[in-house]
Amino acid sequence: MITTDVLRTIPIFAPLPDATLDYLAGVVEDIQLVAGEYFAHEGDERALFVVVEGGAEITKVVNGDERVIGTRRPGQFFGEVPMTLSTPFPASGRAAAGGSTGAGGPTGATSRIIKLDVTAFYTLAAMAPSVPARVAALARRYLDSLQVIAAEVPETDIRLIGPRNEARTHAIARFLTRNQVAFDRVTTEAVGGPAVGSQGGADAAASASPVLEAAGGVRLVDPGMREVAVAVGLDVEPSADEYDVVILGAGPAGLTAAVNGAAEGLRTVIIESLAPGGQAGTSTRIENYTGFPFGISGDDLASRALKQAKRLGAEIVVTRTVEAIRPAAGGGASGHVIVLDGGDTLRAAVVIVATGVEWRDLPVTGVERFLGNGVYYGAARSDAAVAKGADVCIIGAGNSAGQAALFFSRHARSVTMLVRGESLEASMSRYLIDQIGSHGGIGVETRSEVVGLHGAEALEGVDVVDRATGVTTRRDVTVVFVMIGADAVTGWLPPEVARDERGYVLTGADAAASGSWPELRRPFALECSTPGVFAIGDVRSGSVKRVAAGVGEGGMAIAFVHQFLALQRAPVQA
């Protein structure tokens, strides 16, 4: 623990009287770290850290890359800005590589840092006003350098060129955004016409199709998503043929399973058909997820989970689908075979199915013509551009629809929610209903449905029927977001994996009662009717369709995986 003798070696504390140092020694945290280990993360609640031994690096994510923006030696501190301005940390702090000589002598590869929380700091400030005065003076100096960093223009070698409302261009832009790839968007209005972007009219390509430019002179015209992924450096091939755990789907449940599996030393890979985040990744705001008092967007939550999983060693493979699972014979140690599109195969002791659900199609004739060009399934923050200044219609009455209505009301000229039922109460959380009800820019029409779509190339209007009166009216709506429920798409699973009448995967007691469970032992709570295959999140029969529930199941699944692997490795009784 920290002693008063150690505190006296720190210049800012050295002049303080014994009584003050005795108080301080009793309230600070004594933190010892190995090189590279973090003691504070960008966005954390404020505190003051003081380096006692070794050293620290201050890092900040700038334009997608983590950059070292400062260092601290023994006697120096970190946290001046948040303590002075009452804000979260604008940067992160970690133990520096190598050692230095501090109060405790040579330290090798470790650093020693003390932490004062808010209560301790302000109590100390009352006892010794010289301390907050020194902290405030340093904060003013560091603010200048932070402002310079914040003003930097993002640099990227990736540019997407295409018409503003063209479906393929929009799909690629959404793909890049959801995969956390920074890119420059150059908008062309027509073939050979003027372009709006960093390079002006020179980039109005000789095609109305999207053009992707990437590092190394790569230029792709109307590329497929896998071509895009390869061009921007995303992983589309697993690095190995065998894993401990293969996770199918990178929604909140799958990402959580990857974080826990990799953290506990399991060779873990996620196979994702599009981008991390699942349906939650398209949510404009999640208000009821614990730990985020002011809510968090789905793409932000997915981004954090993705970075965490990668940092812990999990692989994320995108633009790949699973065509089949060949269960291990007799649930044996040979492992399950996972067949990817194109015929590539993986082998794993455990498979976790976290494929979630897919939005239901809008049952209106000709809807396919307008997909990505006026009609969109789901709604993400990256879709704000298509809603800018438009008359927007949101079809649906769930929480996702309510969150989207509130978000797009900041960008659109008008927002109308069309609800097939009698009211929002049956399917939407009360906090959202109250926010929508008090918002003057959102209209809610119950017992109403879209029955027709109009437009030559892009959506120009919709027909809406009022089921209460039977009257159909034409609306000049150019943007429609469809969120009318979702279904599990599980027909590709082998017959050994039992499902309910709606296609959701049976687990636990339900799997045992399905008649397909082959072993004497009972299946684990999240285990399917095939031993060693687990299902989590929205794809699981009986699951609670909430982000927090999916995250919880992702963590639980890895606990069951360890138990399953222990059974597999146990010696066979004679």
Paired with 62 in beta bridges are: 65
Neighbour order of strands in the sheet with 442-446: 375-377, 479-482, 391-395, 414-419, 442-446
- Amino acid, single-letter form, for residue 480: V
Q: What is the pLDDT of residue 204?
A: 43
- The answer to whether position 237 is within a domain reads no
Higher pLDDT, 272 or 196: 272
In a domain, 574, yes or no: no
Residue 201 pLDDT grade (very low, low, confident, very high; cuts 50, 70, 90): very low
Same domain as 379, residue 282: no
Kindly state whether residues 404 and 465 are assigned to the same domain.
yes
Same domain assignment for residues 311 and 396 = no
d(CA 572, CA 434): 60
Per the structure, the complete domain to which residue 173 belongs is given by 159-231
The pLDDT value recorded for residue 149 is: 53
Burial class (CB in 10 A: 0-12, 13-18, 19+), 422: exposed
Of 65-74, 198-207, 261-270, 303-312, the poorest mean pLDDT is in 198-207
**Does residue 236 belong to any structural domain of this protein?**
no
Per-residue pLDDT tens digits for 55-100: 999 998 776 677 888 899 999 989 988 888 888 888 899 999 865 4
Residue 133 and residue 12 share a domain: yes
Q: Is the model's pLDDT at 488 over the cut of 80?
A: yes
Q: Which of the pair, 191 or 70, is modelled with greater confidence? A: 70
* Alpha carbon 412 to chain centroid, angstroms: 25
Q: In terms of domains, do 137 and 17 share one? A: yes
Question: pTM (2 decimals)?
Answer: 0.78
Instruction: Please tell me the total count of domains within the chain.
Output: 4
Q: Is residue 77 part of a domain?
A: yes
Contact 95, 36 (CB under 8 A): yes
DSSP string, 217-276: GEEEES--HHHHHHHTT---S-S-SEEEEEEE--SHHHHHHHHHHHHTT--EEEE-SS-T
Task: Give the pLDDT confidence of 498-551 residue by residue, as tens digits.
Answer: 999 999 999 999 999 999 999 999 999 999 999 999 999 999 999 988 899 999
CATH label of the domain that carries residue 8: 2.60.120.10
- In this model, does residue 153 exceed pLDDT 70? no
